[in-house]
Homo-oligomer: A and B are copies of this chain.
Amino acid sequence: MITSISQSPLFPIANPKSIAFFGASNNFLAMGSSILSSIISDGFEGTIYPVHPREKTVLNLTAYADVKEIPKVADMAFIVLPTKIVAQALKACGEKGIRHAVIVSAGFNEVGGDGVERQKELQKIADEYNIRFTGPNCIGVVNSHVKLNATFLPSEGKQGFIGMASQSGSFITQMFSYLDNRFGQGFSTGFSLGNEANIDMVDCIEYLGACPNTKVIALYIESIRQGQKFIKIARKVSKNKPIVAFYAGGSETGKRACLSHTGSLAGPDRLYDGVFRQSGIVRARSIEELFDFCHAFGSSPRPKGNKLIIQTHSGGPGAAAADACERTNLELPMLSSETLEKLAPFIPHTGSVNNPVDLTYTKNPLDFFHDIPKVLLEEKGADGMLIYFLATAGMVHQALSAMGASQENIGTQIKDIVELQCKSIASLMETYGKPIIGFSFLTRDNPFVAGLQDKGVPVLPSPERAARAFSAMVEYMRLRDKIIQQED
């Protein structure tokens, strides 16, 4: 086990000071050119040496006809060449002394036939020259904390706490705007693995486990190649940092799709369930769940148990959340007499304190963001909360407007109210060390949703998803405790 990311073969790949780039040209439609464009436009601060047989400059950078001619030994080579010339480029890198590479080019194991031989050749060259590489058939690498986006889609440079290792490049690149739109998040570091001819998923877990910017690890898995090694390393990492995995190969149809995609042979669902359990990994049942869980894990403290209180001002979302809680093995305890007494002044006669605590119409809206959740977090019989946020800035606007505030003042006042209320929830979570997961049918266009998430309070888009995320945290704590016990 590594103790620092600098010990990982992935370190120069995720933190290069210089890159030898094969396969970019001044034809902007080529994949290689797209990737080099992203690297430049997302603000990479190191040196890039494009290698091109004919062009003198590529995207305004001085180009080299041969890697030998580059004045320095680059930290890594980035290869997006036609399949047939990948091996010779890798060999040239080896001769130059380059020891790390990302091979984006496809046409290897995943296509079968000759491709299998071609992949073996890459492995042979790498062994000969001590090269460690990701791919082939991968999409690249991102590290938002050093402004490296070596993929074909612009990332908008959003930093974040989710470290991802993916057997599909799509779940790196195509999640940039997903994570930003839903959670205001980006990846801390993201690795696209492709065919894993050299560096594999386990290396990534080790790296991300040691990465100081990564609070939670997300895995997209089509197949685990080295089961025992995977379990051994994941167990160690998951003791300190949660790992969430989505596995796509569990069904027969999924298995066939994975075989076509990365040439990997997936195994039955139950086998993977066992591997994940032993590894302390929480399994997500969809891509949405994978990132929902990461959002919750990275934002909130962990629950000590499975008992929670639902706070709502709308009966329906409260009932749907309650129903979802039971279906995900969570319990809604009745409130203690002490809590009921403290709560009484805040509850109108139309409300309910049966957990869900349903306030219907609150007289003082700030109660909802401070005094009431404070009382509920003090309840000794509960380990955390779900809170429904109706949170329409429109209603606040209407109310202020009706009270005669000027349009100009309204803008500032709404901002102040949102700031105050979001901060209040965030600080309560910190003070009491219990998780709060919010849910709302609104999106980050709404200032409350964005405000809460940006202050570190997870907000998910439905009661069911909030309940499942809470349940995932409970499950993680259970798996982790078991691993710790087994080691004692």
Contacts and interface: CB of A to CB of B under 8 A. Distances in A.
Contacts of A248: 316, 319-320, 322-323
A171 B317 CA distance: 8
B261 A358 contact: yes
Contacts of A392: 153, 177
Interface residues of A, number: 90
Contacts of A350: 106-107, 110-111, 137
A342 interface: no
Given A153-B394, A352-B261, A394-B153, A246 B288 contact: no
A314 interface: yes
Interface string A442-454: 1101100000000
A249 interface: yes
A166 to B, nearest CB: 7
Contacts of A249: 319, 323
B28 A320 contact: no
Contacts of A483: none
The quantity of this chain's copies bound in the complex is: 2
A275 interface: no
Given A252-B326, A323-B248, A398 B28 contact: yes
A441 B220 CA distance: 15
20 contacts: A111-B349, A137-B350, A154-B394, A154-B398, A169-B314, A170-B314, A170-B390, A174-B390, A174-B441, A177-B446, A246-B320, A249-B319, A253-B323, A253-B326, A256-B322, A257-B354, A261-B352, A262-B315, A286-B462, A287-B317
Interface of A: 28-29, 31, 33-34, 37, 106-107, 110-111, 137, 152-154, 166-171, 174-175, 177-178, 181, 220, 222, 246, 248-254, 256-262, 285-288, 310, 314-327, 331-332, 349-350, 352, 354, 356, 358, 360-361, 390, 392, 394-395, 398-399, 401-403, 441-443, 445-446, 461-465
